[in-house]
Structure 1
């Protein structure tokens, strides 16, 4: 039987642990549960020890964000499969069974994501991951069930098992051997889109990333940084450029980076007209950080198999903002 470790990264999340740990403990039979604590200053650790003595704690010495937090913690955890689970997730009965089955069925499967629904509106998909992630030909990430801020209602349209491009960090199952092969998350990302980069690298190494719609969870979302936070804008814009520079062949990477920088400028102007000057400044800071760190990031490129057809759509920006496409099945025809 595959040994699964459910690992919840926590930073000052006592209230979230109090709310969401009960479902994880109740429905994760056969798995070991860990809380990887990123040097919290609240009562998270004492709360776990007093109320959930069976849950194991890995104490990180610093708050290195999502990427470093998991990299530091997972070296101390022995399992065949890591389940990286956000602290604001409610899991459902038997949610692990379909995940175990797909890992057993197909050896090439390295990463798996369940269906991600909104905790507040449980019949709608949730922003972070929805029904599996893809990217367009310019490297913009999007999901089945979510295109930018447009969320679809769950009507069973994505109850399938499907190969995807990236799995969300809100709930990602990954083989320990593959995580180690890829040397974990890129800590220069700190947080946001590090899972896109990890899955992209896994793809470049010939591994499969899968979505399993028969396993579902409910994600609260926005508990660390909301979509209205300029820091999230900064990280998303910068880290997306990082991924393109690292993971595409040179002939594709440089033209796409140039186009993306121009489109980011358009996005900045749009933020100004919306009265969101802080978000425009966040894009500017993201570009400055990208220029500053370009050589460092570019040197991380690996000699691996680049995916010849890595994208699911030509331009998600054009399709969404010009043609007003809101649903994946209209945008992408199987």
Structure 2
């Protein structure tokens, strides 16, 4: 695919899966906010069955809609739009967000600081509370703590804050990682490192992309608090499936950035704490019949079973599959 000159200031890419009401609100806010900026808006729909594609066609004919026949995941869906985007900068935006202000100041800031490859903004929840949208690169201990669930968290709650240590969310700062929920990308960066690794279905793809940026280029990753979006973060309808996907993504992240042995240590540590959780909860269930406890027992059993069954297959896939978004296919100067 030949290179073409970037002709717009901003390309906004929104990936959607069964979020029609939220997507409508998101698109309204985006189209209002980018007035006066040369821009284009993409929606990549991952085979929604709630009427989302039809709503986009009917209510937002100016939006460029890409319809997938299956749920391809977050990374691959974004890559499809990246191949068509013609903006100097690309904004990846979750469908469950609202963008109440114009991103012109971000574009001007990135123009003034040409060495910024990725820029994350201030993100708040619907109630106005801050969402941590910048963090340090994942470490084995911190991610093991995250996947330990209640048992360890009860006794050592302060560990959860280590990932965000030293980050002042009120000031511009260089950081390791920024959230893919609202992520500005310098189009020139994509020519250097390609798009997202499609091995990630969802989760950790933003951390890995930041890792690639920091380690393979001279571009910086920056947190910028003077542009804000509202994130109406929803819970997964299948928390067990979401947890497993998150774990497998973390496992692959470590395999890619630290090596297979490091990843194997992470997997072993998680299995150990899951078995410990399962043992404790099973003892509690003997004396106190509780639906919540029974649900957690079932979750740990499924996690242990699923991880064991998928270990060999996932390892083979990670070793043989390459990034499907080569830099030569990008359309940026």
Q: TM-score, normalised by structure 1?
A: 0.74
Q: Which residue of 2 aligns with 1:331?
A: none
Q: Is the 8 A contact 2:12 2:40 kept in 1?
A: yes
Q: Does the C-alpha gap of structure 1 residues 24 and 185 become closer, same or farther in structure 2, counting only changes over 3 Å?
A: same
SS of match in other structure, 1:41? coil
1:58 aligns with 2:66: yes
Work out whether residues 119 and 223 of structure 2, in 8 Å CA contact, stay in contact via their aligned partners in 1.
yes
| Residues 1:101 and 2:108 are matched in the alignment | yes
**Residues of 1 paired with 2:173 and 2:305: CA distance?**
37
Q: What is the match of residue 215 of structure 2?
A: 204
Corresponding position of 2:124: 117
Q: Deviations over 1:70-106 (max 9, x none)?
A: 1223212222211111110011223x13321332122
C-alpha displacement at 1:109, in angstroms? 1.2
Q: Give the Cα separation in 1 of the matches to 2:91 and 2:17.
A: 18
Question: 1:268 aligned to 2:277?
Answer: no
1:1-334, aligned counterparts within 5 Å? 3-29=9-35, 30=37, 31-94=39-102, 96-119=103-126, 121-122=127-128, 124-126=129-131, 130-138=132-140, 140=142, 158-206=169-217, 207-222=219-234, 225=236, 229-248=239-258, 250=259, 254=261, 256-269=262-275, 271-272=277-278, 273=280, 275=293, 276-280=296-300, 281-286=302-307, 288-298=309-319
Aligned residue number for residue 308 of structure 1: none
Over 3 Å counting, the alpha-carbon distance change for 1:239 and 1:290 in structure 2 is farther
Shift of 1:167: 1.8
Instruction: Please report how far the alpha carbon of residue 192 of structure 1 lies from its aligned counterpart in structure 2 after TM superposition.
Output: 1.4
Structure 1: which 5+ residue stretches go unaligned? 151-155, 303-334
Q: Report the Cα distance in structure 1 between the residues aligned to 2:139 and 2:53, rounded to whole angstroms.
A: 44
Q: Classify 1:157/1:134 alpha carbon distance in 2 versus 1 (closer, same or farther; 3 Å).
A: closer
Please list every run of 5 or more consecutive structure 2 residues that lacks an aligned counterpart in the other structure: 1-6, 146-156, 162-166, 282-292, 324-333
Q: Which has the higher contact order (CA 8 A, sep 6+)?
A: 2
Larger radius of gyration: 2
- Asked if structure 2 preserves the Cα contact closer than 8 Å seen for 1:271 and 1:279, the reply is no
Task: Compare the two structures and name the one with the higher helix fraction.
Answer: 2
Q: How many residues align?
A: 283
- Change beyond 3 A, Cα 1:170–1:271: farther
Deviations 1:91-129 (A, max 9, x none): 1223x133213321222211111011111x21x123xxx
**Distance between the aligned counterparts of 2:230 and 2:160, measured in 1?**
18
CA distance in 1, matches of 2:56, 2:96: 15
Q: Distance in 1 between matches of 2:304 and 2:181?
A: 24
- Root-mean-square deviation (CA, aligned residues, Å) is 3.1
User: Is 1:13–1:87's contact at 8 Å kept on the other side of the alignment?
Assistant: yes
TM-score by length of 2: 0.74
CA contact (8 A) 1:10 1:36 kept: yes
Rate the CA distance shift 1:93–1:220 in 2: closer, same or farther, 3 A: same
Q: CA separation in 2, counterparts of 1:68 and 1:166?
A: 20
Native 8 Å contact 1:27 1:93 kept in 2: yes
> Structure 1 residues 148, 91: closer, same or farther in 2, change over 3 A?
farther
Tell me by how many angstroms 1:161 deviates.
0.9
Distance in 1 (alpha carbons) for counterparts of 2:79 and 2:135:
22
Tell me how far apart the structure 2 counterparts of residues 161 and 287 of structure 1 sit (CA, whole Å): 43
